[in-house]
Structure 1
């Protein structure tokens, strides 16, 4: 496979293959994702549960468990690409796994083992390529044409939503009229096309070789810092890191004991997914904190650039952690908001409503990618230049902080609609357009900005892994949803919710809105002292 250099100052022609691949892959992913909850609610897979709240909750749990997997496996994909196989090979192989997962969904709609195997394979394949496609796109640029990269990152996010729009609009119709085999099969065909288009560009890509076992890589520097001793000083960072590993192991052991019925009564039976995610979070949080306490001890054993690079990654991880509440709100548009929409009235009698097309509450999700395609050019052409002329500096971190806060406002509006429904009123599905507009505006400020932020801030040898950590923020976003759903199954908690006079659904909507506001304040406080980096490749 050839390694070419980017044309100076020009848009690399190989970008068209990457963008084409992404458009088809996003149709594939969102096509199945956006019909997953309505399919599960009405399928034989959950027929053992009574219709209503129990089945809705089970469908939400399955959906968010799937999302956790999708955004956990980027760790594996990023590690394999950076360490062994390179981005191109890793993307291609995981794409084939992805195709196999779609085939399972289409063939095993009534078989729980086959269907859930398909979900696992899609989570593995989609997650495996997720941190690499954006990073691989960034590799096609250098210092001479990095201004074009900033345009491509926006275009990249725009094309993601182009595929998502048609998937969100059409997949519920496929499910309604032709059944799950066709509705899940069509996304599978699109994923095969995506893989083929990516393969077609193989002779044109810039292929940055994997770093291999880098003696000055992120983990190598962290290990040196934690193990190093300083005369007359203890090893507080090492103690903190070891404590994190010990707590994680203890959590997993308690989960194993709970499976055997031997766990102590004070340990909540979270299940494996929640427990494993909490254990991972503890290792990352305490391991990162411990490394930061002793990082300067790695100087001398490693080049200053490597130590500074690790310091930059640790700072980025704090930014990422503060973004996780946004994803807990955003991903529920495909679960909680669909369930709310099913309680609403579709205004077919209104002349302005496109009754010939919109026949299902799940199709309201098409508003999200449609609005993204409109808001990205609006922000870049109108809003940001206007703010600059007014004297406001529109930095990446400020955009992300405001995006988190605006997503909280969207859930205040959704909660108000739920109060309307709880009061026995007939509520038009059209009202959901307002929270979708606010949530999408928040998404553009957070997610589209973060694609460039994550790539530009990551040191060269760690770009794949840092992108994997970015996608891991969605795993923890869905973790907060699962933890909340677990918490409200407690009779005491339900009693306190009842005392507020709110329904369970309305209470949770306002709860998540408050969660976002607190996160936005914490994000703003940290962003004020974050030192921005520029880690694009040097011009060839």
Structure 2
């Protein structure tokens, strides 16, 4: 009788009334973020670092633009950890999303108003990075909060629409904002994303009476940072043959300590991920600047340099089902099991291959040529395949290899790999702009440097991956 009642409850379940507000908010917010980012490196070069278009200053100007762009991304992907703590410990997701979105809007307004003031423009970027990063760790989790036992069977469909809204917002932004920038100037090009962010905030606020809100849980002592610090400070109490974290069991729950051990095991894989993001994020900066020197004619239509990056989400949406339903099953069938570690290794190799194409394009440009943008589209195709293998697999690996209590921690650490990768590229470009050690990386040499660096990581990954212990917590918890 009870089982029958449970089935009836599920059948009566309907979509949460808050879903349209969450999806509308996410589409508009992603439009605002990717819209301003699509033109950022080109704008920084043309407006601040080389407005006179002096060829002798172009290399340094591009390095300065890339330094600032990658530092902006690094900051944006560090903030999810801060946003998650604010939401889970103190204020709850709703307040964090709403109030920090207002700061986000102020950041966009600052970009639009201070297009001629580098200091104020940089402040706007910091505000946007803070806003986008802090709400990033809350918005997707807020989707799951809207469901209960009566409608949880509908959650996967809603998440599908949620991620569709992300890609839709980014695609439309990378197509339209470069056109606005080219036709109406930077004030409108940065202003329109600001209007969309204001709209995103308004949409989210309009749904305030529809949301199912999970209250903050307060400061959680049994977390990754507290346990790690305690263990390090009490290493003297470690007994022979004992794991260094086991000393924390005197103060913390045994299950939580074992969870931290799992996190460190995953970190042995995540150590190889920052180099992927260091190279991947260049398709939105260095590759865009490279496109300004190429023949952008595609089927009789001349693309704007910032529009070329639109092919990445298009390739990505096509490749996900191809890998899932064709490529992975094919290799499994012929006896080559596509484990998460093998997928990540293959993805790292393909990332290097995409940069080989980019380096060859740059060699042609350095020699005075104007190669077709189709070559860069080929590089995007290879990079998109690498993204499927590394990014999607990495998220899955982080989830399955960490216990329930540590899954949020792993999500925050995953975002930090993006931040570390971008911080490294920012430092390299800062060295170039200041005539430092990396100033020798001119033209194609810059891209060949990253090819060599990635191949070194691939070889190291091959040596290390065989020793990494895997343990799925999904099976045990089921």
TM class by shorter chain equals 0.7 to 0.9
Q: 1:449 deviation in Å?
A: 3.4
Over 3 Å counting, the alpha-carbon distance change for 1:466 and 1:386 in structure 2 is same
- More divergent stretch after superposition (481-490 vs 431-440): 481-490
Aligned to 1:476: 420
Matched residue of 2:272: which SS? helix
In 1, distance between residues paired with 2:352 and 2:328?
22
In 1, distance between residues paired with 2:460 and 2:35?
35
Counterpart among 455, 475, 478 of residue 517 in structure 1: 455
Aligned to 1:95: 101
Over 3 Å counting, the alpha-carbon distance change for 1:140 and 1:462 in structure 2 is farther
User: Are the counterparts in 1 of residues 114 and 121 from structure 2 also a CA contact under 8 Å?
Assistant: yes
Aligned to 1:297: 247
1:172 to 2:149 alignment: no
TM-score (norm 2): 0.85
Q: 1:320 deviation in Å?
A: 2.5
Matched residue of 2:271: which SS? helix
1:531 to 2:470 alignment: yes
Residues 180-191 of structure 1 aligned to structure 2 (within 5 Å):
180-191=186-197
Aligned to 2:445: 507
Q: 1:231 deviation in Å?
A: 5.9
Residues 417-496 of structure 1 aligned to structure 2 (within 5 Å):
417-488=361-432
In 2, distance between residues paired with 1:320 and 1:296?
23
1:212 to 2:218 alignment: yes
In 1, distance between residues paired with 2:70 and 2:324?
33
Q: 1:335 deviation in Å?
A: 1.7
1:38 to 2:38 alignment: no
Aligned length: 465
Q: Which deviations, in whole Å up to 9, do the C-alpha atoms of 1:137-170 show, x marking residues without a partner?
A: 4555789998976676666544322221111111
Aligned to 2:300: 353
In 2, distance between residues paired with 1:139 and 1:530?
33
1:27 to 2:31 alignment: yes
Aligned to 1:312: 262
Aligned to 2:6: none
In 1, distance between residues paired with 2:452 and 2:433?
20
* Structure 1 unaligned blocks of 5 or more: 1-6, 237-291, 498-502
RMSD: 3.5
User: Are the counterparts in 1 of residues 354 and 383 from structure 2 also a CA contact under 8 Å?
Assistant: yes
Q: 1:368 deviation in Å?
A: 1.0
Q: Which deviations, in whole Å up to 9, do the C-alpha atoms of 1:72-94 show, x marking residues without a partner?
A: 22221122122212223222222
Aligned to 1:288: none
Over 3 Å counting, the alpha-carbon distance change for 1:207 and 1:328 in structure 2 is same
Residues 241-320 of structure 1 aligned to structure 2 (within 5 Å):
294-320=244-270
User: Are the counterparts in 2 of residues 460 and 537 from structure 1 also a CA contact under 8 Å?
Assistant: no
Q: Which deviations, in whole Å up to 9, do the C-alpha atoms of 1:414-467 show, x marking residues without a partner?
A: 111112222222312222110011111111222233344444555445444432
